[in-house]
């Protein structure tokens, strides 16, 4: 396993040699999270949690602008509730954690820790909903959920993770479907405009949809190595839950009707997406809009007279406009600091030494390209504002370029296998709609259907697998 | 059991007759929360959760101003970790929920759902702390915790509740103690300046302190019926956890030393405090600074031409400065709306009818006093700003008056019993410091020591219970 040669970041595995180990190195060394004594669960450290807070703040605001209100439902779900929707329980029962004792007593009915909250929320909704006048109900909760996964990876697949889950009720199927798509657009906005990761939007196949859903919509993204990450999903339930849970209302005609339902979620997995989509051999690259520290000032020769004073002055001038840090540690070398902040993915570094101060300038260094620029201190605010936007756009474009380069078209299985093995990425094909073909492809190539993109293309008339008449274009990929 | 006579709020039990039932009525009718199928756990509805969001926002900001950073630690704690601090496990083991199975498998080691996170956090701290240069470590988490309480009550004592728990590490005992007191001051600020509830600050007796703490500081408040509510606590641990958990650092002299530790928390119990401290027979009274809706506009004769248009115009003008709602429902009478919003505790109601509009005025009604005032629409913004401050101050003063009126001084047990039975409230006494006296008082009167207030008074030389030499003044009260 090759190690990166740079003196300061030598502890980080080379991303080309072993991306899995590289990922773990970054999570630990950049102080995003750490392993704990609770198997499969991480502790999220302040630097990682601050990214989540920035995602939350933006997303929560977007939700509220569409009329969503926050609420909170119980962590524990009685076994009998989980059982009520057949597909749902089949999907989740194998990986739930069960509470069977309290104090030194055995419980009469066991409770599972919520793997998701459809069942407990549906029960409350059936109690709360009376009339069409109560609709729509648009509730969301920010909380922790738990799924007893066998193979875990920090952020990307953790037994416990933090997320939000929105659950809405509607008068009509059409309105519910619109809400499903509206929330998918919020996630698309978050992924592209906040995290600088281009997306493919689409609908999941029957096989890949959420347990209990009628339709599952998804935001798919491509990571550094060409693998896919499902970044957020939005589900249309129709009346699948409202019937077994009796979520009924009196409609405008005075008749009793079952409500139409949606749910939608995104999680701390998005932090994993940031690492995997943007990182490189120097470490993390955090998109400016969610970076806990957007700009770091590293004084040069800080022991010299006036350097720290000036650095402090610059810091004070900028701190109203940017999330900024002054690194005045006296027990680390300047070179160490440069590499340390690069590894932590801070978008911009400002270097400020005695000669710069004499000339009224500083040196501004971009994390994304490594480019250096000498900037007048009097212009600094304005330059940084533009630079952060530029860095966001450049990071987005880099990902977009990769997405395009690593997306290929296959017309038959031979092409499919060749492409995915030679250049791991997304593969577009036509598909007949038969789950048997989907399963065969997965068996042969380890690639799953990511989605049937909204932007359908006509790549031919026949299914990539069986050669029968094709009905849909599908994007396939190996996944995290 | 008497019911309130008012036609619209008749469903609410009279507070003088049965405050426990009154409390439950308010929680349900004002849409703060509801009971769930998970015994002892509530669902917090948007109107209740929005109060929590306002408390969180303010408190989180105050924490961050003192250098605190947010993080997140696992929900589940391995049994072996919980065992490490003797007092701590004794205090919490009887009421923890145990996860013993996952999927269909029995686990080798069981996990408890965190009742509080000292043990799991201490384990991580022992891994993360190396040198005095790493100190102080000032982490906080906003999360859910679980305690299998036998008697529960929404918000005040729920099996699951939401809270924040801060956990800090320090170089010296003095610095840790200062932090403990600093965070108590934050809670005092929140309770008095945000929730409009006057406090008594003090230190808990040995008997009442947190399981594993060296010292527990507390914010005590008085509810409507004179009972006490512990609103927030801040603990100084000394090295009680750092020794068993091996949280060591190299000090400035190069020697290994155990860190000094604190923890501090406040919870959704504060919503219970708001209900119980401020409510009355018309329902909730929410302090303006945390009210989800600060001002509600109720149009009069809204079917008449121009009324809704004008109401909308007023709404648009005010919405930048206040959390405001326009109640234009056409299926409820004006009288119903007045009572409904009073019951929900909205601090200010604006009435706007055709004649008001002609005269360029509206009627402004205070929830706290019921006073009405005619206000020029052109002055409305300014008047409301002052009014909300005035309402806050008046609500605070009302509570302060009650606190003073219901606090008495007892010199012997006879006085103590007479006072607490005649006029339930706080009782100040001198105390010898012996736990036997504390237990005897509890047995006789059902009152517990609330705290030894920072503001000590000399009420005499002898203990209220045993007559021996007294060392401390204590405040006692029955509690929620």
Q: Which of B272, B277, B327 is nearest to B299 (CA)?
A: B327
Taking contacts as CB-CB distances below 8 angstroms, the residues of chain A near B123 are 36-37
Residue A31's CB is within 10 A of a number of other CB atoms, namely 14
> Which helix or strand (DSSP H or E) is residue A443 part of?
helix A435-445
Residue whose pair of structure tokens reads 């006036």 in the numeric block: A306
Inter-chain residue contact A78 with B49, CB threshold 8 Å: no
pLDDT, tens digit, 9 for 90 and up, residues B258-305: 999 999 999 999 999 999 999 999 999 999 999 999 999 999 999 999
Average pLDDT (B407-421) is 97
Taking contacts as CB-CB distances below 8 angstroms, the residues of chain B near A111 are 38, 97
| Annotation: CATH topology of A295-391 | Rossmann fold (3.40.50)
> Which helix or strand (DSSP H or E) is residue A82 part of?
helix A79-82
Taking contacts as CB-CB distances below 8 angstroms, the residues of chain B near A77 are 38
Rg value, chain B, Cα: 25
**Cα B451 to Cα B476: distance, rounded to the nearest angstrom:** 7
SS (H, E, C) chain B: CCECCCCCCCCCECCCCCHHHHHHHHHHHCCCEEECCCCCCEEECHHHHHHHHHHHHHHHHHHHHCCCEECECCCEEEHHHHCCCHHHHHHHHHHCEEEEEECCEEEEEEEEECCCCHHHHHHHHHHHCCEHHHCCEEEEEEEEEECCCCCCECCCECCEEEEEEEEEEECCHHHHHHHHHHHHHHHHHHHHHHCCCCCEEEECCCCCCCCCCCEEEEEEEECCCCCEEEEEEEEEEECCCCCCCCCEEECCCCCEEECEEEEEEEECHHHHHHHHHHCECCECCCCCCCCCCCEEEEECCCCCCCHHHHHHHHHHHHCCCCCEEECCCCCCCHHHHHHHHHHCCCCEEEEECHHHHHHCEEEEEECCCCCEEEEEHHHHHHHHHHHHHHHHHHHHHHHHHHHHHCEEECCCHHHHHHHHHHCCCEEEEEECCCHHHHHHHHHHHCCEEEEEECCCCCCCCECCCCCCECCEEEEEECEC
Buried b (16+ CB within 10 A) or exposed e, B327-362: beeeeeeeeebbbbbbbbbbbbbbbbbbebbeeebb
**Cα B417 to Cα B432: distance, rounded to the nearest angstrom:** 18
- Classify A406 as helix, strand or coil: coil
- Classify A351 as helix, strand or coil: strand
Q: What is the pLDDT of residue A91?
A: 86
Mutating which of B43, B167, B169 best tests the A interface, going by the most A Cβ atoms within 10 A?
Answer: B43
Q: Which of A43-47, B6-10, B75-79 has the lowest mean pLDDT?
A: B6-10
Residue whose pair of structure tokens reads 């009274």 in the numeric block: B285
- Classify A353 as helix, strand or coil: coil
Average pLDDT for chain B? 96
Could you tell me if B251 and B257 are in contact, meaning their C-beta atoms sit under 8 angstroms apart?
Answer: yes
Taking contacts as CB-CB distances below 8 angstroms, the residues of chain A near B96 are 102-103
Could you tell me if B325 and B378 are in contact, meaning their C-beta atoms sit under 8 angstroms apart?
Answer: no
Could you tell me if A347 and A318 are in contact, meaning their C-beta atoms sit under 8 angstroms apart?
Answer: no
Taking contacts as CB-CB distances below 8 angstroms, the residues of chain A near B124 are 34, 36, 43
Inter-chain residue contact A71 with B44, CB threshold 8 Å: yes
**Cα A13 to Cα A32: distance, rounded to the nearest angstrom:** 17
- Classify A386 as helix, strand or coil: helix
Q: Cis bond leading into B136, ω under 30°?
A: yes
Alpha carbon distances (Å) from B98 to A65, B104, B111, B141, B210: 40, 16, 6, 22, 22
> For A102, which of B52, B73, B97 is closest by C-beta distance?
B97
* Shortest alpha-carbon distance between residue A465 and chain B (Å): 35
- Classify A385 as helix, strand or coil: helix
**Cα A149 to Cα B123: distance, rounded to the nearest angstrom:** 23
Homologous superfamily of domain range B295-387? Anticodon-binding domain (3.40.50.800)
* Shortest alpha-carbon distance between residue B83 and chain A (Å): 14
Residue A297's CB is within 10 A of a number of other CB atoms, namely 22
pLDDT surpasses 60 at B413: yes
Q: What is the pLDDT of residue A8?
A: 52
Q: What is the pLDDT of residue B6?
A: 47
Q: What is the pLDDT of residue A451?
A: 98
Residues counted in chain B: 480
Residues of chain B with pLDDT > 90, as a percent, come to: 95
Q: What is the pLDDT of residue A3?
A: 40
Could you tell me if A76 and B41 are in contact, meaning their C-beta atoms sit under 8 angstroms apart?
Answer: yes
**Cα B242 to Cα B247: distance, rounded to the nearest angstrom:** 5
Residue B397 backbone class (left: φ over 0; alpha: ψ -120 to 50; beta: rest): alpha
**CA of residue A269 relative to chain centroid, distance:** 5
Q: What is the pLDDT of residue A330?
A: 93
> For A49, which of B70, B74, B96 is closest by C-beta distance?
B70
Taking contacts as CB-CB distances below 8 angstroms, the residues of chain A near B111 are 38, 97
Taking contacts as CB-CB distances below 8 angstroms, the residues of chain A near B94 are 103-104
Residue whose pair of structure tokens reads 């004794």 in the numeric block: B90
Taking contacts as CB-CB distances below 8 angstroms, the residues of chain A near B79 are none
Q: Between B83 and B320, where is the model more confident? A: B320
CA neighbours within 13 Å on the CB side: how many for A267?
A: 25
Could you tell me if B109 and B98 are in contact, meaning their C-beta atoms sit under 8 angstroms apart?
Answer: no
pLDDT surpasses 60 at B5: no
Q: Between B4 and B339, where is the model more confident? A: B339
Inter-chain residue contact A72 with B133, CB threshold 8 Å: no
Average pLDDT (B239-254) is 97
Q: What is the pLDDT of residue A9?
A: 56
With bands split at pLDDT 50, 70 and 90, how would you rate the model's confidence at B3?
very low
Contacts of B363 (CB under 8 A, 6+ apart): B350, B351, B352, B356, B372, B373, B374, B375
Residues of chain B with pLDDT > 70, as a percent, come to: 98
> Which helix or strand (DSSP H or E) is residue A83 part of?
none
pLDDT, tens digit, 9 for 90 and up, residues B339-361: 999 999 999 999 999 999 999 99
With bands split at pLDDT 50, 70 and 90, how would you rate the model's confidence at B10?
low
**Cα A295 to Cα A323: distance, rounded to the nearest angstrom:** 7
Inter-chain residue contact B49 with A34, CB threshold 8 Å: no
Q: Give, for all 480 residues of chain A, the pLDDT tens digit.
A: 334 444 455 689 999 999 999 999 999 999 999 999 999 999 999 999 999 999 999 999 999 999 999 999 999 999 999 888 888 888 888 999 999 999 999 999 999 999 999 999 999 999 999 999 999 999 999 999 999 999 999 999 999 999 999 999 999 999 999 999 999 999 999 999 999 999 999 999 999 999 999 999 999 999 999 999 999 999 999 999 999 999 999 999 999 999 999 999 999 999 999 999 999 999 999 999 999 999 999 999 999 999 999 999 999 999 999 999 999 999 999 999 999 999 999 999 999 999 999 999 999 999 999 999 999 999 999 999 999 999 999 999 999 999 999 999 999 999 999 999 999 999 999 999 999 999 999 999 999 999 999 999 999 999 999 999 999 999 999 999
Strand partners, A264: A166, A234
Residues counted in chain A: 480
Burial class, B309, CB count within 10 angstroms (exposed 0-12 / middle 13-18 / buried 19+): exposed
**Cα B228 to Cα B450: distance, rounded to the nearest angstrom:** 8
Domain locations in chain A as residue ranges: 19-278, 295-391, 407-477
pTM tops 0.90: yes
> For A99, which of B52, B113, B127 is closest by C-beta distance?
B113
Between vectors from CA B285 to CA A167 and to CA B45, what angle results, nearest 5°?
10
> Which helix or strand (DSSP H or E) is residue A120 part of?
helix A118-128
Scanning every residue of chain A, which has its alpha carbon at the shortest distance from the alpha carbon of B106? A98
Q: Which of A352, A323, A322 is nearest to A337 (CA)?
A: A352
Could you tell me if A93 and B164 are in contact, meaning their C-beta atoms sit under 8 angstroms apart?
Answer: no
Residue B429's CB is within 10 A of a number of other CB atoms, namely 28
* Shortest alpha-carbon distance between residue B7 and chain A (Å): 23
pLDDT, tens digit, 9 for 90 and up, residues B81-126: 988 888 888 888 899 999 999 999 999 999 999 999 999 999 999 9
Inter-chain residue contact B36 with A148, CB threshold 8 Å: no
Q: Which CATH number applies to B407-477? A: 3.30.110.30
**Cα A98 to Cα A77: distance, rounded to the nearest angstrom:** 9
* Shortest alpha-carbon distance between residue A99 and chain B (Å): 4
**Cα B393 to Cα A11: distance, rounded to the nearest angstrom:** 58
Scanning every residue of chain B, which has its alpha carbon at the shortest distance from the alpha carbon of A97? B102
We find that the CATH architecture of domain A19-278 is: 2-Layer Sandwich (3.30)
Residue B59's CB is within 10 A of a number of other CB atoms, namely 21
Angle of helix B380-405 versus helix B307-318 axis, rounded to 10: 70
Inter-chain residue contact B34 with A127, CB threshold 8 Å: yes
**CA of residue A67 relative to chain centroid, distance:** 23
Mutating which of A41, A63, A103 best tests the B interface, going by the most B Cβ atoms within 10 A?
Answer: A103
Q: Which of A57, A455, A393 is nearest to A193 (CA)?
A: A393
Q: Which of B284, B263, B277, B46 is nearest to B163 (CA)?
A: B263
pLDDT surpasses 80 at B8: no
Could you tell me if B68 and B192 are in contact, meaning their C-beta atoms sit under 8 angstroms apart?
Answer: no
> For B75, which of A100, A123, A144 is closest by C-beta distance?
A144
């Amino acid at each position: 396993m090759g190690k990166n040669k740079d003196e300061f970041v030598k502890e980080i595995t080379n991303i080309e040699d072993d991306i899995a180990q590289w990922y773990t190195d970054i999570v630990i060394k950049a102080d995003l999270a750490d392993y704990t004594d609770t198997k499969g669960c991480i502790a999220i450290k302040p630097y990682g949690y601050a990214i989540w807070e920035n995602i939350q703040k933006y997303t929560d605001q977007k939700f509220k602008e569409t009329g969503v209100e926050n609420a909170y439902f119980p962590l524990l779900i009685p076994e009998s509730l989980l059982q009520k929707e057949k597909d749902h329980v089949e999907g989740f029962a194998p990986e739930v954690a069960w509470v069977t004792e309290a104090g030194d007593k055995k419980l009469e009915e066991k409770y599972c820790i919520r793997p998701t909250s459809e069942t407990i929320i549906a029960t409350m909704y059936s109690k709360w909903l009376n009339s069409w006048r109560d609709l729509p109900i648009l509730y969301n909760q920010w909380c922790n959920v738990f799924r007893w996964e066998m193979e875990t990876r920090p952020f990307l697949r953790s037994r416990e993770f933090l997320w939000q889950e929105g659950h809405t009720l509607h008068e009509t199927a059409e309105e519910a479907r619109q809400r499903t798509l509206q929330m998918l657009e919020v996630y698309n906005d978050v992924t592209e405009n906040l995290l600088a990761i281009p997306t493919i939007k689409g609908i999941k196949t029957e096989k890949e949809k959420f347990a209990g859903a009628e339709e599952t919509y998804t935001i798919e993204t491509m990571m550094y190595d060409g693998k896919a990450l499902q970044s957020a999903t939005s589900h249309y339930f129709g009346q699948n839950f409202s019937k077994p849970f009796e979520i009924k209302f009196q409609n405008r005609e005075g008749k009793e009707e079952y409500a139409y339902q949606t749910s939608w979620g995104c999680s701390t997995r998005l932090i994993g997406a940031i690492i995997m989509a943007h990182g490189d051999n120097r470490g993390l690259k955090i998109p400016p809009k969610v970076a806990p520290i957007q700009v770091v000032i590293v004084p040069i020769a800080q022991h010299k007279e006036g350097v720290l004073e000036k650095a402090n002055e610059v810091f004070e001038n900028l701190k109203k406009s940017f999330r900024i840090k002054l690194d005045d540690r006296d027990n680390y070398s300047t070179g160490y600091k440069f590499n340390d902040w690069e590894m932590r993915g801070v978008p911009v570094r400002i270097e400020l030494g005695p000669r710069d101060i004499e000339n009224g300038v500083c040196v501004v260094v971009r994390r994304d390209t490594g480019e250096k620029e000498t900037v007048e201190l009097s212009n600094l605010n304005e330059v940084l504002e533009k630079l952060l936007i530029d860095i966001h756009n450049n990071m987005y474009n880099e990902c977009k370029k990769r997405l395009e380069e690593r997306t290929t078209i296959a017309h038959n299985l031979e092409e499919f296998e060749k492409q995915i093995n030679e250049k791991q990425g997304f593969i577009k094909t036509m598909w007949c709609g038969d789950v048997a073909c989907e399963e065969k492809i997965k068996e042969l190539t380890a690639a799953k259907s990511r989605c049937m993109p909204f932007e359908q293309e006509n790549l031919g008339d026949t299914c990539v697998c069986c050669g029968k008449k094709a009905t849909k274009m599908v994007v396939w990929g190996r996944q995290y």
